[in-house]
Amino acid sequence: METPVFEEIDPVSDCDCPGCAHWRRVLPHSTPHRPSAHPAARRALALAALTSATLGVGHTAPALAAAHAPVRPGVPADEEPETPQGGTAPLHGPAGTPGKPSDAGKTPETTREEIIRRAQKWVDAKVPYSMTSYWSDGYRQDCSGYVSMAWGLPQNEWTGSLHTFGTRIAKAELQPGDMLLFHNPDNPENGSHVVLFGGWTDHTRTSYIAYESTRPHARRAVTPYAYWSNSARYVPYRYKGVVETPPATPPETPPVTPPETPPATPSQTPALPWTDPRRGGRRAAAPHAGAQAPASHGVPGYPGRAMFRPGADNPHVTRLGRQLVKKGFGRHYPNGPGPRWSEADRRAVEAFQRTQGWRGGAADGYPGPETWRRLFS
């Protein structure tokens, strides 16, 4: 069975109490003089004002929060985040005017790592949700503009056109950078929504990391599959222009002649697989026909902990890093994985270990045989 893609879960920093939910909804998140984002917000403010006049200021926040607090596990709310979105439009300049003509319909190539990096950029900037405003990169600040931006499309698409840039896939095939699309043709502005898939949260595949643009701003959150509502109508798609990065094939390594000493215990550091201890660390003889990759601790391909320590520089580090990127744990690599062990490698391994439910010393960021087996199974 194919190993599912996991991603670490960052704790949500926003408080979900009624008071905090109220101020997140009321305070502006975009440029000055921006009109109210949605009629529902104005109705809620009017209701809050009326309630305040009747019951006092202390009752305003719960009344407003009940109508607009985002739905999250364990937090009661009446509805999911509102996600209406605009239509197809060209990229816009900083002043909100149409930019230079784009090659509409083109499918530029990109990688999964780049898709997630671009998506995270809006999350970090807390780009406000808007169907009419455009961010500095030229993309519309709604859900479909967000996916258009992450995929690097030449213009702003909408939920009725995004599927033409993707290939429909099954739930089991989802990988970071794919999208989950719900288009309501009868009323596109009522319920239509699209999110980016960031990776499963655990082996049950009942929830995942969703990158999305929704009120009040772009976010990255744990979301039940396929979404909070209309779940059965969300369809997974893979971007046609995604360039898959194949896992690195490790080079064949010479067999190691066992040293004339008792075998090492699991707590001891194993000998380097490409050296012969009896030859003073010199390279061993050429492998015989049919030589296999190292299998330390009985795990195929696992070369031993010594390959993943500070100062290590070998192809096994590159192979490990590329597999972590493939599984959706590449955000710690500023320039991509390489052969020299780095703090980025350790943090990526730690993130993967935590998705397995390990804590403390079990999630130290150094790949042991069980980490390797699960990562490459």
What local confidence, expressed as pLDDT, does residue 22 receive? 57
What is the spatial distance between Cα 43 and Cα 45, in angstroms, rounded to a whole number?
Answer: 5
Instruction: Give the pLDDT of residue 53.
Output: 44
Q: What pLDDT score was predicted for residue 2?
A: 57
Q: Following DSSP, what letter does each residue of 190-243 receive, concatenated?
A: SS-EEEEEEEESSTT-SEEEEEE--SSB-EEEEEESS-SSSGGG-EEEEETTB-
Mean pLDDT within 42-58: 44
pLDDT, mean of residues 158-186: 93
Indicate the average pLDDT of the chain. 73
Is the pLDDT at 363 greater than 80? The verdict is yes
Q: Are strands 179-182 and 166-168 parallel, antiparallel or unpaired?
A: unpaired
Q: Higher-confidence residue: 208 or 13?
A: 208
Residue 275: strand pairing partners: 283
Domains of the chain: 1-11+80-244 (3.90.1720.10), 17-69 (no CATH), 292-376 (1.10.101)
Angle (CA) 312-317-320 rounded to 5° is 150
Handedness of CA 188, 65, 141, 131 (dihedral sign): positive
Give the H or E element holding residue 116.
helix 112-125
DSSP 8-state code for residue 129: P
Residue 83 contacts residue 214 (beta carbons within 8 Å) = yes
For 78, the 3-state DSSP assignment is coil
Query: Which is more confident, 268 or 162?
Result: 162
pLDDT above 80 for 284: no
DSSP structure class, residue 137? T
Confidence tier at 292 by pLDDT (50, 70, 90): very low
**CA–CA dist 40, 84 (Å, integer):** 12
Question: What is this structure's pTM?
Answer: 0.49
**Residue whose structure tokens are 């597999």:** 323
Cα–Cα distance for residue pair 145/139, rounded to 1 Å: 6
Q: What is the 3-state secondary structure (H, E, C) of 313-357?
A: ECHHHHHHHHHHHHCCCCCCCCCCCCCECCHHHHHHHHHHHHHCC
Alpha-carbon distances of 330 from 176, 235, 260, 333, 370, rounded to whole Å: 10, 25, 42, 6, 20
The predicted pLDDT at position 88 comes to: 86
- 312 pLDDT higher than 80: yes
Sheet architecture: strand order including 219-224:
166-168, 235-239, 179-182, 193-200, 207-212, 219-224
pLDDT bucket at 257, cuts 50 / 70 / 90: very low
Span 106-162, pLDDT tens digits: 899 999 999 999 999 999 999 999 988 999 999 999 999 999 999 999 999 999 999
pLDDT of residue 218: 96
Beta carbons of 130 and 141 less than 8 angstroms apart? yes
Give the pLDDT score at 16.
54
| Six token digits for residue 298 | 């009985």
Model confidence at 59: pLDDT above 60: no
- Per the rule left: phi > 0, alpha: psi between -120 and 50, beta: everything else, 218 is beta
What pLDDT score does 136 carry? 92
The sign one gets for the Cα dihedral 365, 366, 369, 375 is: positive
Calpha distance 321→336 (Å, rounded): 8
Q: Cα–Cα distance between 316 and 36 in angstroms, integer?
A: 54
